[in-house]
Amino acid sequence: MTEASTEFRLPIRVYVEDTDTGGIVFYANYLKYMERARTEFMRCLGFDKPALFDGLQFVVHEVWLKYHNPALLDDQIVVTAVPVNASRVTFEMTQQVFRGDELLVEGRVKLACINAETKRPQGMPKLMSTTLKSQIG
């Protein structure tokens, strides 16, 4: 992440375990790549346990993906995460997967903060909400 941009970039190598028998990344694995980028983005903001912390959890509420081109075995790809909206309970990110300058997949993910015990929506910690809002361009 650079100071001039809220875009977080995570380089990932495509391994055999990520691909089908033709050496093409299995479509659901892009969601895993995007999850990793969001997790590392939150770590860069100072939130080390973004999936489960102090009785709260983040869960995926909505996801939209568009596939343009496949990643292949041994490709070096980059996955981005850009926060675009945040409220007391939810936040949204746009995400993209690139091989060099070539856009492979693009998506938008909305996450909700819930109480880990009741599984009901609950406001995220104020510092987290404020920090996420400050990252929106």
List, for residues 79-134, the tens digit of each pLDDT value. 999 999 999 999 999 999 999 999 999 999 999 999 999 999 999 999 999 999 99
CA pair distance 6, 3, nearest whole angstrom? 7
Is 75 among the residues known to form the active site?
no
Pick the catalytic residue from 20, 54, 74, 101. 20
Instruction: Give, in words, the CATH class of 8-134.
Output: alpha beta
66 by DSSP, 3-state: which? Answer: strand
Q: What is the pLDDT of residues 46-89, one digit of tens each?
A: 988 755 667 899 999 999 999 999 999 999 999 999 999 999 99
Angle (nearest 5°) at CA 9 between 4 and 11: 150
